[in-house]
Structure 1
Amino acid sequence: MPEEPANNISGGVGAPAEFVPAEADTRAEAVVDELGQMYWRKAYGGRDAFECLVRTILSQNTSDVASQPAHDSLMERYSSGEARSASETRAGSEATRERSDLAESLAAAEQSELAETISSAGLYNQKSEMIIGAAERICEEFGGADGFDAFVTGGDPGEVRERLLDIHGVGPKTADCVLLFSGGRGGVFPVDTHVHRIARRMGLAPADADHEAVREHLERDVPAEKCGFGHTAMIQFGREYCTARKPACLDGPEACPLYDLCERVGVDEVEETVVDPADADAD
């Protein structure tokens, strides 16, 4: 079984999860069981909630390859209790800005310097504004990263999700990633572009379902303890087999390990064409 990629915005940490590929109650569960045979099986949780939030914001509209260096640079500059600004360093000043945690450090960050720090992630001006705004909000409402972490890990999941979605720049996928990878909440199946495409192409959700509708169908049909590794494994399956433009099934049934579980909505194997499931002919 392959190891989980080191650069995986949707995971990278977690303990082995119990996995019993028994008779599945739904096709969605059968798909996740097959993915569990192909990839890793982990129960997630334990990641610092604010860092997880920042990490996921950095990943928006970019790849892990681009967002990982941005995350590393941000942590190097701002996670230290004695982080110095670039202007202070250039001036040769020995002054330091004392920070009790990452949220406080980023709430006080100079936007242009943060943007420069995370430039490899793309949309760095927009993302730096989002991160500073989120940090200010978390310091104001929770007293900093530790208080936010306690809320995410111990609060009511519905309330946590609602509060997260109320932060500028935090959408459903970002909120769900924080709930899953920091809070360790079972029954949370974050939906990114891979999951959205695959679930509709396989017929696990309606062809015209938006991200929220796909999430609702998957969380309804996949057991809570399997949602976490189902999410990470489905992303990897989308990268290796069920790509947007040329899914493996176009090379024949034997090319895709999930062929028998898939309805291939929007895929014409004869003409070798692929369209978004929502655009597929209703016939």
Structure 2
Amino acid sequence: MSDDPEPAINISGGADGGGMATDFDPATAETRTEVVVDRLGELYWQKTYGGQDAFTCLVRTILSQNTSDKASQPAHDALIDRYDGTTVDLAESLANAEQSLLAETIKTAGLYNQKSEILIDAAVWVLEEFGSASEFDSYVRGESPSTVRETLLEVRGVGPKTADCILLFAGGRGGVFPVDTHVHRIYRRMGIAAPSATHEEVRAVLERDVPAAKCGFGHTATIQFGREYCTARKPACLEDPEACPMADVCDQVGVYPETDEVVDPADAPK
């Protein structure tokens, strides 16, 4: 396993974001999907997650929507500096925030007007439903994952990936494999999920084929792999099949080295 620490500019928050390092034996893998996840764990990191504050995690995940971690991280830091006080919890601060000032604070995250409205609405919802951010945190950690997920999906601006990130990084729930654009692309490109599979269909395949304890680092390590090797437009295998550590377990759906062409797996010829 790599000695490189998990980057702090990551929805997991890196080494300070909660969770703990864990070792797994790749020889015990029972599916091709598990082989991929084990190999990613050896390439990057193996961690079980949990321990983040649920509302802070919700804020961080909303800020990360439709943008990169490098863009959303400064917005997150600026928001925490301005609104996370010692006498008033973050949910109360954001519920009473001036929308234009909040928008200016999170400007680097993109879609800042929309996201500022969503954050204020989410804060008001937390206070109305749970009374405080700490009670919301207790709910996320203590209620059944399916119930928490259903509840979160009723909140404006919270989709499946955001709900699953909260369950994983705050709730510490095993068996949750959030699907972002990297995860969605990579497991269809590998041929593990159907080329036309939706985000939810990819999630169902991964949560079926990957042991619960490995889903967390499977998610974060896949994202890192997508940034370094299996990029959307120029995957490493396009020029050199040997350059990708997953070459022997990948079907290269939509990747054509002979013509230097890459298409979304859904658009690949049948």
Pick the TM interval, shorter chain. Answer: over 0.9
1:168 paired residue number:
156
> Runs of at least 4 residues of structure 1 off by over 4 A?
none
Instruction: Report the Cα distance in structure 2 between the residues aligned to 1:142 and 1:21, rounded to whole angstroms.
Output: 42
Instruction: Report the Cα distance in structure 1 between the residues aligned to 2:203 and 2:23, rounded to whole angstroms.
Output: 22
Instruction: Report the Cα distance in structure 1 between the residues aligned to 2:51 and 2:30, rounded to whole angstroms.
Output: 30
1:137 paired residue number:
125
2:63 paired residue number:
58
Provide the TM-score with structure 2 as the length reference. 0.96
Instruction: Report the Cα distance in structure 1 between the residues aligned to 2:13 and 2:43, rounded to whole angstroms.
Output: 17
Conserved? CA contact 1:266–1:277, under 8 Å? yes
Instruction: Report the Cα distance in structure 2 between the residues aligned to 1:139 and 1:118, rounded to whole angstroms.
Output: 22
1:56-205 correspondence runs (5 A): 56-81=61-86, 100-205=88-193
Residue 157 (structure 1) shift = 0.4
1:30 paired residue number:
35
* Identity of matched residues, %: 69
Conserved? CA contact 1:11–1:232, under 8 Å? no
**Can you list the C-alpha shifts for 1:71-117, whole angstroms capped at 9, x where unaligned?**
11111111014xxxxxxxxxxxxxxxxx5311111111111111011
1:95 paired residue number:
none
Residue 233 in structure 1 maps to residue 233 in structure 2? no
Runs of 5+ unmatched residues, structure 2: none
1:276 paired residue number:
264
Q: Quick one: which of 48, 55, 62 aligns to 2:53?
A: 48
2:8 paired residue number:
6
Q: Quick one: which of 217, 224, 243 aligns to 2:212?
A: 224
What SS is found at the alignment partner of 2:26?
Answer: coil
Conserved? CA contact 1:11–1:181, under 8 Å? no
The Cα RMSD (Å) is 0.9
Residue 11 (structure 1) shift = 4.3
Residue 65 (structure 1) shift = 1.2
Look up the equivalent residue of 1:122 and give its one-letter code. Answer: G
Look up the equivalent residue of 1:36 and give its one-letter code. Answer: G
Change (3 A) 1:11 1:225: farther
Residue 249 in structure 1 maps to residue 237 in structure 2? yes
1:85 paired residue number:
none
Look up the equivalent residue of 1:113 and give its one-letter code. Answer: L
Look up the equivalent residue of 1:9 and give its one-letter code. Answer: I
What SS is found at the alignment partner of 1:22?
Answer: helix
Provide the TM-score with structure 1 as the length reference. 0.92
Look up the equivalent residue of 2:75 and give its one-letter code. Answer: A
Runs of 5+ unmatched residues, structure 1: 82-98
Instruction: Report the Cα distance in structure 2 between the residues aligned to 1:208 and 1:265, rounded to whole angstroms.
Output: 11
